[in-house]
Amino acid sequence: MSTASLIDAGHHEQYHRDKKLSAFVNVISPTSEPRAFKGPITADVLKDVKAVWFFGPTRDLKTEELAELDSFMTKGGSIILLANKLTPNFESLIKKYGVSLAEQVVSPTYITYINPYHVSVQHGLVNRALTHFMQDDQNASFAYPEGNTLDVNSPSVIMLASGQSSYPLNRPIISYATVGNSGGSLTVIGTPHMFNDEWIRKECNEKLLQFLLELILTKREELNSIDAEHPEVTERWYTPDVASMSERLRSCIQESEKMRTNFTDNFDRGLFKMDMGFVADTQDLAKTLGLKNEPLETVTPQFDTALPPLTPAVFPPQMREPPGPVLELFDLDDAFASPKTRLAQLAQRTTPRNAEKFVIQSAKILGILPKLPDDKQTGKNVLEYVFTQVVRWKRQSAD
């Protein structure tokens, strides 16, 4: 089986190779041959394919296609499904491996994005294999736009959760399942937008995609078995549907004490009544106390001063000087280092696996990246720009 990746466009996907996936194609091209296909899925179509990608399908699978996909995974193929809504056959495909879509993820506070459905996942790494891969970014965050949480059961395992800054709190958003003994797999991501041209470059989404490619296609990465069996996620919390319950009111009957035989005894007339028997005694009370029986006079209140009078100071107040700036908070080496020094430090920190990241960061240091368009800021475009400038310089020197 080859390492070709089939990007499906035959089920009315929200994104495909010719629609907002150019950056995605550039990322997977060194690892896998991207192919676009628009038509029914058959055994001939899947013959030389390693992985099939679905980006938000809106048309349902046929029964024959569902059987072909099951057979494809059993023979060692991989399916990556990115969706926040599923049709019945797609639901049955993932439910067979213990996965189903749940609630939508929202951000209860403003962190990075204004839209509450555009969530910045903080501290969402569940499996230490992904943590090891993100060694340069231990607190890596991911952009998760308009996505759902997942209910994950065996044989699927949890790879990434919604983190501590979103709601539902720390619930699964990416699952992975191994199918058969030939290396097949099923990966479910609760949003179709995570790797499109708008979101793939934000936060650590591109690095997450590279991990998925090495896990699914090249098999260079493996999930940690301990974290897979005992993931640190919270249980699902079911919230009652208050809106629907308010439309179905129910009466409440309480048990009361036994009624008396004579119902008039149930009323206590002594609690609320007018009694005129003490009016005469009240009028004679002034004579008993030796007071004049006349209307009371208004007494003018006297207010005491709350604070003592102010006394002028003999000596002028001494104002303290503000403390100096805390210079220890500034890294002077990084702030005033020359580009050559920063390049040397970057070369020491970067591993050979992250060669493209080294090229892009070097371009930022040397001021090359702002000269390139936003859609052409990959390592390949940076090297092309540098080679072009070198050739122009040599031509000018020769002339």
- With cut-offs at 50, 70 and 90, classify the pLDDT of residue 9: very high
Higher pLDDT, 229 or 317: 229
Nearest to 3 by CA among 65, 82, 68, 76: 76
Nearest to 166 by CA among 190, 188, 183, 185: 190
Residue pLDDT, tens place only, 243-277 = 888 888 877 766 677 777 887 777 777 777 777 88
Q: Residue 27: its pLDDT value, please?
A: 94
Q: Does domain 5-236 have CATH number 3.30.2290.10?
A: no
Q: Residue 35: its pLDDT value, please?
A: 92
Q: Residue 50: its pLDDT value, please?
A: 93
Higher pLDDT, 311 or 40: 40
Q: Residue 330: its pLDDT value, please?
A: 61
CA–CA distances in Å: residue 381 to residues 170, 369, 373, 384, 385: 38, 10, 10, 5, 6
Among 8-12, 352-356, 383-387, name the one with the lowest average pLDDT.
352-356
Q: Residue 200: its pLDDT value, please?
A: 95
Q: Residue 327: its pLDDT value, please?
A: 63
Q: Does pLDDT of 1 surpass 60?
A: no
Tell me if residue 329 falls in helix, strand or coil.
helix
Average pLDDT, the chain: 87
Residue pLDDT, tens place only, 34-62 = 999 898 999 999 988 999 999 999 999 99
- % of the chain beyond a pLDDT of 90: 47
**Residue range(s) occupied by CATH 3.40.50.880 in the chain:** 5-236
Give me the mean pLDDT over the 10-14 stretch: 92
- With cut-offs at 50, 70 and 90, classify the pLDDT of residue 197: very high
Cβ atoms of 357 and 206 closer than 8 Å: no
The rounded distance, in Å, linking the Cα atoms of 364 and 99 is: 42
The number of residues in the chain equals 399
Please state whether 51 falls in left (phi above 0), alpha (psi between -120 and 50) or beta: beta
Residue pLDDT, tens place only, 345-383 = 888 888 888 888 888 889 888 888 888 888 888 889 989
Q: Residue 328: its pLDDT value, please?
A: 62
Give me the mean pLDDT over the 168-182 stretch: 93
Q: Does pLDDT of 314 surpass 80?
A: no
Nearest to 11 by CA among 94, 92, 101, 86: 86
Among 116-120, 228-232, 328-332, 360-364, name the one with the lowest average pLDDT.
328-332
Q: Does pLDDT of 335 surpass 80?
A: no
Q: Does pLDDT of 280 surpass 90?
A: no
Q: Does pLDDT of 344 surpass 70?
A: yes
Q: Does pLDDT of 201 surpass 60?
A: yes
- With cut-offs at 50, 70 and 90, classify the pLDDT of residue 193: very high
Counts for the chain of helices (H) and strands (E), in that order = 12, 11
* pTM score, whole prediction: 0.61
